Amino acid sequence: MKNYKMVERNKEQVCLLCMSRKADARGSHFAPAGLIKHTIGKRNYEEAYAIDLANPNIDSHFGRSNLKNTDPTPTADLHVADHIFCQQCENDLARIESKVIPFLDKKILVASPKQEFRQHVISPEGILMETDSFDRKTFLLFFYSVIWRISLQQRLESGSVLVSIGFDETIRRFLSIWINNSPEEFAKANVFFPFEVVLLTSTARDIEGATFINPSIYNSNPYVFYMGPFIGLIYYEAGPGTNKITGIPAVLVSRTYANDGGQKSVRVIDMAKEAWDAANYVMVDYGHKEYLMNMVKLVAEKKRISLRDAGILMQHKTEEMLQSGQGFDWPAAAQAAFESVVK
Ligand SMILES: [Zn+2]
């Protein structure tokens, strides 16, 4: 299960955010720790997966106290890397996080975030929560940074680019200007956010439920980012968009409710539990299918059998693994089946 293969970087290379200073920072988080803790558990209880759909691999990282951790050797933290940023950018990112994370924790992600928010019922599937009690620019800057870092992580890990190069570069430049700005200047500045963002969460969701942070696998406008307790939609092109946001009720993502230039408030859509679960299920199910399909292809190649036979073989083996307890869940069982078949 240890196939994690991040591109090795050293401190002489350039910071991937500002592209000017040396990447001397160590232990940089791709997904902010403050977001991860809502998804993969508290320190030492973490449960993280990096699923590489192109080369069937699941690397898992379990905290020392997590019961699923049967391997005594410490594993690399999937969400941390050395020498991707300079210390300056690292500090600036941390500063924005330290402002936004407490707001997310105390105001948005609590069970009843009622007092400070104006609430507009969109449909039975969700409510638009709106507040002026937090600086919208800082809030959006934080989510821009998360989206960009998730995209960067994907690029460094698998070489695949899930977003267009133009989008990636525009958002990097935007961040390098505004993240590095002093808080005072940033507060005064008239900041133009180049891409509209819609943020969705569910205050009714099961906190134990989701165990992944990953970018969109749908090539659509908007891009869809799953970020632990949030789903972010970012519109990289103006216009109506292709609206292929599988699993998310279309009525919730009406662009009327987006954080566009005309808004001054912080806006988040609070999805009903059923709608949230359905959206996440579509994502996980899609990932599983893609993952299995790629394993089946490799099995067919290695064994010189038809795709159909490889599919049947993998299905039987996966069920066997699940029954014999060799996989605690579906992806782990499929991975064990794959390894036993190709050996
Ligand atoms: Zn930098």
The verdict on 235 and 299 lying in the same domain is no
Q: Please report, as a single letter, which amino acid is at residue 4.
A: Y
Q: Which neighbouring-strand residues pair with 29? A: 80
What is the whole-number distance in angstroms between the Cα of residue 42 and the centre of ligand 1? 29
What is the whole-number distance in angstroms between the Cα of residue 131 and the centre of ligand 1? 32
What is the whole-number distance in angstroms between the Cα of residue 17 and the centre of ligand 1? 5
Quick check: is 46 in a domain?
no
Is residue 267 classed as helix, strand or coil in its secondary structure?
Answer: strand
The verdict on 163 and 235 lying in the same domain is yes
pLDDT at residue 36, as a whole number: 66
Cα–Cα distance for residue pair 41/120, rounded to 1 Å? 31
Per-residue pLDDT of the chain (343 residues; tens, 9 = 90+): 334 456 788 999 999 999 999 999 998 888 777 776 655 444 333 444 444 444 444 444 434 344 444 443 334 455 688 999 999 999 999 999 999 999 988 888 876 667 789 998 989 999 999 999 999 999 999 999 998 998 888 788 766 666 788 888 999 999 999 998 888 899 899 998 888 888 999 888 776 544 455 555 555 778 888 787 888 888 887 665 665 666 788 888 876 666 655 678 999 999 999 998 888 777 766 666 767 777 888 899 899 998 889 888 988 888 888 888 765 566 677 888 888 888 7
HSE-up of 281 (CA within 13 Å, CB side)?
7
What is the whole-number distance in angstroms between the Cα of residue 23 and the centre of ligand 1? 7
- End of a domain among 250, 271, 292? 271
Quick check: is 56 in a domain?
no
Cα–Cα distance for residue pair 291/333, rounded to 1 Å? 12
What is the whole-number distance in angstroms between the Cα of residue 242 and the centre of ligand 1? 34
Cα–Cα distance for residue pair 331/291, rounded to 1 Å? 8
Total domains present in the chain:
2
The verdict on 94 and 224 lying in the same domain is yes
- End of a domain among 239, 271, 303? 271
Nearest-CA neighbor of 181 among 89, 83, 85? 89
Q: What is the DSSP letter of 61?
A: E
Neighbours of 129 (CB within 10 A): 23
Cα three-residue angle 303-304-308, rounded to 5 degrees = 90
What is the whole-number distance in angstroms between the Cα of residue 92 and the centre of ligand 1? 9
What is the whole-number distance in angstroms between the Cα of residue 145 and the centre of ligand 1? 13
Quick check: is 10 in a domain?
no
What is the whole-number distance in angstroms between the Cα of residue 179 and the centre of ligand 1? 10
Quick check: is 17 in a domain?
no
| E strand map for 44-91 | 47-52, 57-62, 80-81
Rounded to two decimals, what is the model's pTM? 0.76
Quick check: is 98 in a domain?
yes
What is the whole-number distance in angstroms between the Cα of residue 101 and the centre of ligand 1? 22
Do residues 197 and 233 lie in contact, with contact meaning Cβ atoms separated by under 8 Å? yes
What is the whole-number distance in angstroms between the Cα of residue 90 and the centre of ligand 1? 7
What is the whole-number distance in angstroms between the Cα of residue 35 and the centre of ligand 1? 22
Cα–Cα distance for residue pair 41/19, rounded to 1 Å? 33
What is the whole-number distance in angstroms between the Cα of residue 81 and the centre of ligand 1? 14
- End of a domain among 219, 241, 271? 271
What is the whole-number distance in angstroms between the Cα of residue 246 and the centre of ligand 1? 36
| E strand map for 37-117 | 47-52, 57-62, 80-81
The verdict on 307 and 175 lying in the same domain is no
Pairing of β 126-131 and β 118-123: antiparallel
Quick check: is 226 in a domain?
yes
The verdict on 298 and 158 lying in the same domain is no
pLDDT at residue 209, as a whole number: 45
What is the whole-number distance in angstroms between the Cα of residue 106 and the centre of ligand 1? 30
What is the whole-number distance in angstroms between the Cα of residue 14 and the centre of ligand 1? 8
pLDDT at residue 242, as a whole number: 60
What is the whole-number distance in angstroms between the Cα of residue 13 and the centre of ligand 1? 11
What is the whole-number distance in angstroms between the Cα of residue 148 and the centre of ligand 1? 14
The verdict on 122 and 251 lying in the same domain is yes
The verdict on 240 and 211 lying in the same domain is yes
Quick check: is 51 in a domain?
no
What is the whole-number distance in angstroms between the Cα of residue 166 and the centre of ligand 1? 20
The verdict on 200 and 96 lying in the same domain is yes
**Residue range(s) defining the domain that contains residue 218:** 89-271
The verdict on 265 and 290 lying in the same domain is no
What is the whole-number distance in angstroms between the Cα of residue 31 and the centre of ligand 1? 17
The verdict on 216 and 338 lying in the same domain is no
